[in-house]
Chains A and B, each alone.
Chain A
Amino acid sequence: MSRLAEFLKERKELTEEVKKRSQETLAQWKQAIDVLFSQIDTWLEVAKHEGLIVKRTEAAKEITERLLGTYTVPIMEISFADKTIRLEPVGRNIVGAFGRIDVFSPAGMHMLVKLGPEKEDWYLVDKEGTKRRLTRELFEDFLIKSFSS
């Protein structure tokens, strides 16, 4: 094999490897959003009987990131009476985190950040930057505070 052919072969393999890894990362990120939204939906099941509306819109937002390309993500809206809380994914490539979802609510802007590769590594971050591990109790407290604002 000529030196040029060898070089091109190596580059092709490298490009394919990067592409494969990026596809895996994107699939994991989309799955992480899906798992989280499903988890939240399950947590709110009982509250739905009291008038809470949970709406998930698939492919509602387009995101473009380096290596990952352009992809779509779902958006979740939790409404009660005239108040709505909106969960909007921002991106997988985040400084210091494995993904970020912005939470717009009457109580102000919060973030859900994924601080590790595991599915339970989501944290709720407030305006002051205080991080608390996301649990059903924490999320319910957050909703109560938001709907009281």
Chain B
Amino acid sequence: MLGNAWHWGIILREALLMLITMVEKAPQMLPQKLFDLPVFATQAEALDYLRGEVWQWLDDMIIVALWGEFETLLQSKNQSPVVGKRNKSLLGCMKDGVVRPRLRTLFRGLPFGELEYICKRGKMLWDYRSWVAHGRSPYKAPEKWAPEDAYEFLSDVLRKICG
């Protein structure tokens, strides 16, 4: 399931790369207005915008989608009440960045260091995702995440709590 959000993100990245190639090779074939660019923008303006702002926007949207899929998976209705409780607790701790005693009890099989890592990294990702989802405001920008890192981290968490 997490793979779905990731693969859609990759497909959109490929589409953006194709658009960049079009701007490089035959900009005259494109519509006169692209996204937020002024009408009849120069090639340099369009490349700067697509490689900068649009690329970053897409990367951020992939992160938002990955976290969304991750939450959906953890809160799935098709799981036992015990697993449901466990996942809810994990999600809460990941958003707060703190390993609560209850979480340690629920995940007895995982070493404390592992849980601490998941919660701390989870909070960093949650902060970045929230900052993006709320229009990059109003507070200071949190540490930046790349979609690749977010996908790797969330997949790793899923593997650990399922295994």
CA distance A56 to B44 in the complex (A): 27
Candidate in B28, B31, B33, B37 with the most chain A CB atoms within 10 angstroms:
B28
A46 on the interface (CB 8 Å rule)? Answer: no
A51 on the interface (CB 8 Å rule)? Answer: no
Cβ contacts A to B, 30 pairs, < 8 Å: A65-B44, A66-B24, A66-B43, A66-B44, A90-B42, A91-B43, A91-B44, A93-B28, A93-B43, A94-B27, A94-B28, A94-B40, A94-B42, A94-B43, A95-B23, A95-B34, A95-B37, A95-B40, A95-B46, A96-B28, A96-B30, A96-B32, A96-B34, A97-B28, A97-B32, A97-B40, A98-B28, A113-B40, A125-B40, A129-B39
Please, which residues of chain A bring their CB within 8 A of the CB of B40? 94-97, 100, 111, 113, 125
Q: Mark A77-120, 1 if CB is under 8 A from B, else 0.
A: 00000000000001101111110100000000001010000000
Please, which residues of chain B bring their CB within 8 A of the CB of A129? 33, 39
Candidate in B27, B31, B37 with the most chain A CB atoms within 10 angstroms:
B27
B158 on the interface (CB 8 Å rule)? Answer: no
Interface residues of chain A: helix, strand, loop or mixed (majority): strand
Chain A: interface residue total (CB-CB under 8 A)? 15
Residue of A nearest to B45 (CB): A95
Residue of B nearest to A100 (CB): B40
Q: Mark A31-74, 1 if CB is under 8 A from B, else 0.
A: 00000000000000000000000000000000001100000000
B18 on the interface (CB 8 Å rule)? Answer: no
Please, which residues of chain B bring their CB within 8 A of the CB of A95? 23, 27-28, 30-34, 37, 40-43, 46
CA distance A66 to B47 in the complex (A): 11
CA distance A94 to B37 in the complex (A): 12
Please, which residues of chain B bring their CB within 8 A of the CB of A97? 28, 32, 40
Q: Mark B9-39, 1 if CB is under 8 A from A, else 0.
A: 0000000000000011001101111100101
Residue of A nearest to B25 (CB): A67
Please, which residues of chain B bring their CB within 8 A of the CB of A98? 28
CA distance A38 to B42 in the complex (A): 24
Report B39 CB to chain A, min CB distance, Å. Answer: 5
Please, which residues of chain A bring their CB within 8 A of the CB of B23? 95
CA distance A66 to B42 in the complex (A): 11
